């Protein structure tokens, strides 16, 4: 099940590994993504702290870790194809896989319905 943060990151959990990316809403706000910097495997990320950078034709933006843990895999394909974030933000546009340090942090994230309501309230 996918969960969302108020900073527009998503988490999809498989066992104790969380795949992290940015939401469709976030990529729409950014516009065409032209550069991505993902965290290297072995990097420790902390919930609410910067873990990646995305640059678009409009702006540069930090991507915050929605959960804490250690990066087990990074999506290196984004270096050569940052547009994958616009094309498939919930699939090929993932940023990193993180071995979670504290699964309880997932309880602080929103499900899809709550996230949609949150985004609707931003307009």
SS3 34: strand
Count of domains for the chain? 1
| Residue 42, SS3 per DSSP | coil
pLDDT tens column, 31-64:
999 999 999 999 999 999 999 999 999 989 999 9
Per-residue pLDDT reduced to its tens digit, 62-90: 999 999 999 999 999 999 999 999 999 99
Q: What is the CATH number of the domain that holds 67?
A: 2.40.50.100
Quote the CA–CA distance of 55 and 112 in Å, as a whole number: 25
Domain annotation covers residue 118: no
| Secondary structure (3-state) at 43 | coil
d(CA 122, CA 119): 5
Q: With a cut of 90, say whether residue 26 has pLDDT above it.
A: yes
Q: Can you read off the two tokens belonging to residue 101?
A: 């340090």
Single out the residue of 111, 32, 39 nearest to residue 68, CA to CA: 39
Find the domain containing 47 and state its range.
2-101
Q: Is 80 exceeded by the pLDDT of residue 122? A: yes
Decide if 84 is inside a domain: yes
Residue 23, classed as helix, strand or coil, is coil
**What is the DSSP-derived secondary structure letter of residue 78?**
H
How much is the pTM?
0.95
In the sheet with 33-37, reading across from the earlier edge strand, the strands are 33-37, 50-56, 60-64
Q: Is the pLDDT of residue 123 over 80?
A: no
113 is a domain residue: no
């Amino acid at each position: 099940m996918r969960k969302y943060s108020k900073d527009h990151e998503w988490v999809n959990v498989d066992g104790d590994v969380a795949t992290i990316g940015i939401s469709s809403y976030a990529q729409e706000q950014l516009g065409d993504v032209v550069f991505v910097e993902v965290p290297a495997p072995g990097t420790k990320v902390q919930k609410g702290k910067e873990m990646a950078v995305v640059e678009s034709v409009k702006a540069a933006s930090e991507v915050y870790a929605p959960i804490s843990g250690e990066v087990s895999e990074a999506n290196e394909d984004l270096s050569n194809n940052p547009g994958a974030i616009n094309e498939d933000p919930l699939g090929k546009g993932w940023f990193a896989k993180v071995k979670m340090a504290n699964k309880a942090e997932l309880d602080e994230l929103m499900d899809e319905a709550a996230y949609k309501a949150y985004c609707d309230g931003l307009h």
